[in-house]
Structure 1
């Protein structure tokens, strides 16, 4: 079964505005975040979604609900399924901290004091592994732990009895997760040095007949 996924980054939150790490934390949408959700809802209003998923964080669910409310092509509108598998990565001890300070703590001991430098020198997976290493409680997710959880989320979609081949599915997700997805599956075909904007849409095909490593083909990023 091949599905066409429309993955939306949630609207702006206060932690986004303040440049703080926001993984499993639940900062609410700002006024701009509500506008982000409504604008992308209008853009996607003519897409016939057979199913709708989101992270179970408030920011993702509110964004998804506003998108579905504006959708006129899906009859009936799908019921939103919010699952923890599509949460942003868990930053552990560093949840809510200033991004610059957190990435300095993670990458500084390795000679890479910023997120960009960690990725450039060691790869994106190292951002998760270095942060877990720097976390005094080691609660932050490693790269392996993060992808195991996300893969289980796609297994939930693949087992959805309502879905048929070539159906369209909405997922409201998170910035670093979308960046990570394109980094892993998009290769050099896409510019993925920065997270997509709040309210942007990333499109990809998901083929549940293939192994996870081969199952995703990026169509567009952060549009």
Structure 2
């Protein structure tokens, strides 16, 4: 069973504007954030969705409801929106809400890499999570394994939905670092991952529900 996933990064938030880490914490959409949701809704107006998912954060839920509202106005049947913690952004623990540059310095400097990009270049994306988990005095920031266990459970939830079938289109409101992580893990060469996905952008994945996770995801397009 192949599902066509349309992953949308939520609209811009206050923390996005101020360049602060925003994982399990939350902040409201800005005016630009509502415009991002409207723009994404217009892009997806002609897609009939059999299911819709988002994380249980206000920024994701508001973005999802606006996209589905536009989709319904275009004549499509509106699926039930399922909000679940498995679709949350990475948990940054102690560093939630902190300035990004300061947080990644705290994580990477002990390893000789003082920025997010430097950590990725020298040690790989998994190290960004493991280093932050290590630097967190409470160790509440998710390790790489904790993160992927949760994200993979989200894919399992989608696969078990009785309302989807082979060829179904599924809307999923996602988050910046999660989209980038999915691309690093599953994308073939040829994608520019030097920039984070834009708020309101659409990334398309094909998901084969009957294959092991490493073989189940094919990237169709990124950051559109």
Compute the TM-score of the two structures, normalised by the length of structure 1. 0.98
In the other structure, the counterpart of 1:20 is: 20
In the other structure, the counterpart of 1:114 is: 115
In the other structure, the counterpart of 2:84 is: 83
In the other structure, the counterpart of 1:43 is: 43
In the other structure, the counterpart of 1:123 is: 124
Q: Distance in 2 between matches of 1:23 and 1:44?
A: 26
Deviations 1:54-81 (A, max 9, x none): 1111000000000000004564210110
Q: Distance in 2 between matches of 1:108 and 1:190?
A: 28
In the other structure, the counterpart of 2:66 is: 66
Instruction: Judge conservation of contact 1:90–1:141 (CA < 8 Å) in 2.
Output: yes
Instruction: Say how many residue pairs are matched.
Output: 223
> Aligned to 2:78, what secondary structure does the other structure show?
coil
CA positional deviation for 1:26 = 1.1
Q: Distance in 2 between matches of 1:12 and 1:75?
A: 26
CA positional deviation for 1:85 = 0.3
In the other structure, the counterpart of 1:194 is: 195
Q: Distance in 1 between matches of 2:10 and 2:76?
A: 23
Q: Distance in 1 between matches of 2:193 and 2:127?
A: 16
In the other structure, the counterpart of 2:31 is: 31
Q: Which runs of 5+ in 2 are unaligned?
A: none
Deviations 1:145-202 (A, max 9, x none): 0000000000000000000101100000000000000010004221112210000000
> Aligned to 2:203, what secondary structure does the other structure show?
strand
Compute the TM-score of the two structures, normalised by the length of structure 2. 0.98
In the other structure, the counterpart of 1:161 is: 162
Instruction: Judge conservation of contact 1:49–1:74 (CA < 8 Å) in 2.
Output: no
Q: Distance in 2 between matches of 1:195 and 1:148?
A: 23
Q: Which runs of 5+ in 1 are unaligned?
A: none
Instruction: Judge conservation of contact 2:13–2:28 (CA < 8 Å) in 1.
Output: yes
Instruction: Judge conservation of contact 2:23–2:96 (CA < 8 Å) in 1.
Output: yes
Q: Distance in 2 between matches of 1:152 and 1:7?
A: 16
Instruction: Judge conservation of contact 2:48–2:77 (CA < 8 Å) in 1.
Output: no
Aligned CA RMSD, in angstroms, stands at 0.9
Q: Does 1:92 align with 2:93?
A: yes
CA positional deviation for 1:34 = 0.4
Runs of 4+ in 1 over 6 A off after TM superposition: none
